[in-house]
Amino acid sequence: MSATPLPSTPGALGGLRVIEMGQLIAGPFAGKTLGEFGADVIKIEAPVGGDPLRNWRLTKEGTSVWWQVSSRNKRSIALDLRAAEGQAIARLLIKEADVLIENFRPGTLEGWGMGWDDLRALNPGLVMLRVSGYGQTGPYRDLPGFGAIGEAMGGLRHLTGEPGRVPVRVGVSIGDTLAALHGTIGVLTALYHRKVNGGLGQVIDVALNEAVFNVMESLIPEYGAFGVVREAAGSALPGIAPSNAYRCVDGYALIAGNGDSIFKRLMEAIGRNDLGTAPDLGSNAGRVARVVEIDAAIECWTLVRRVDEVLEVLGAARVPAGKVYTAKDIYEDPHYRARDMILTQTTRDGYQVDVPGVVPKLSVTPGTLRTSAPHLGEDTDSVLEQIGLSSEQIAQLRSKGIVA
């Protein structure tokens, strides 16, 4: 199949070659992030079916629209990594790469002769990102792990939902994306170390549960110091007051009035200067002690107002507040548009799809959407030719089903 050439505006990571062996969410999200800032990401997929994400959730022209986000700025080669010949080709690709991303179960690559010791001997400068359920070491390393399980084991699920009810999940694969972002930080850190310390690569070992655990704030210090097990609290933020979702005539308003000066402005805005000037409510500790009273006062005010009115009044008072956005709200919000956070790209199948923009915003070398998500194996021939295979060799591999 013909390849799609990379454009001549490479971005901050231009010249960096990444081999992505992962599938579904965590590994590919890390690859997506590197690709948005200019890295040449070569995605290896199984010849039959490819990455299962191609078919997840809603599809158009036979392909998931989620795929159009996850795999933009990537090139696809279809290669059977279970076959010895496929593994040999993978080694050739890795030999010339800067970064390898993989999210197989620990031990899989070792079984294929592509463990860290093998690859380090082949390419001493390689940076290898390994994402797995529980990490490459420890008693749980061989257990299968998905993001949902990492969220539970990392402590997030216990805190999500209403008190005394079934723990609920965040509506997206947050465990996977947290792992991917930690992995991306690790890759960039390792690349910097390689640059200033003699060109040697290293392994980044990211566990799904640890990525979640890393953002759990005071969970462990509070238990270690006081024996306190933090519990689910619905929309409130225990120990920080006031910060909650408050009912309005037509929905909910999220209000964060937990700064000392912000609290005073909030109370003035809702006509409760008696609370705003109360000496014991001038600090967070005092407000936490009376949080039920404060929340009741705020909701008494919001209950007779529409969300937009609440936000207008609190915006004028410089009190952080917002509505609970749906996809429609995001799509129609002018602020998202003004910051290029919703972009339109043309897919390989010729239709247009709206996709999220690039985060973070860099002033000199911003991330870009250079190419749309590839068809399965569309870059196989050009990539293999780049590492020295002839068209005859590629044709022979294709006849065996090693490549597609």
Chain segment 374-400, per-residue pLDDT in tens? 999 999 999 999 999 999 999 999 999
Q: Is the pLDDT of residue 8 over 80?
A: no
CATH code, 262: 3.30.1540.10
Among residues 191, 182, 195, 168, the alpha carbon closest in space to that of 135 is found at 182
Q: Is the pLDDT of residue 7 over 80?
A: no
35 and 155 belong to one structural domain: yes
Q: Is the pLDDT of residue 4 over 80?
A: no
181 and 314 belong to one structural domain: no
Please report the pLDDT score of residue 22 as a whole number: 86
* Residue where one domain finishes, among candidates 277, 310, 328: 328
Cα separation, 186 vs 206, in Å, equals 9
User: Span 143-151, mean pLDDT?
Assistant: 93
Position of tokens 């013909």? 2
Q: How far is CA 66 from CA 168, 169, 210, in A?
A: 23, 19, 26
Among residues 41, 44, 47, the alpha carbon closest in space to that of 22 is found at 44
The answer to the question of residue 229 being in a domain is no
Cα separation, 357 vs 151, in Å, equals 26
Domain count for the chain: 2
Give me the domain span that covers residue 275. 243-328
The answer to the question of residue 46 being in a domain is yes
The answer to the question of residue 6 being in a domain is no
159 contacts 213 by C-beta, under 8 angstroms: no
pTM for this model (two decimals): 0.93
Active-site annotation holds for 176:
yes
90 and 58 belong to one structural domain: yes
The answer to the question of residue 264 being in a domain is yes
Q: Is the pLDDT of residue 357 over 60?
A: yes
Containing H/E element for 122? helix 116-122
CATH code, 130: 3.40.50.10540
344 and 320 belong to one structural domain: no
The answer to the question of residue 11 being in a domain is no
320 and 341 belong to one structural domain: no
The answer to the question of residue 248 being in a domain is yes
Please report the pLDDT score of residue 9 as a whole number: 56
The answer to the question of residue 385 being in a domain is yes
- Selecting among 98, 176, 379, 381, the annotated active-site residue is 176
119 and 61 belong to one structural domain: yes
Q: Is the pLDDT of residue 1 over 60?
A: no
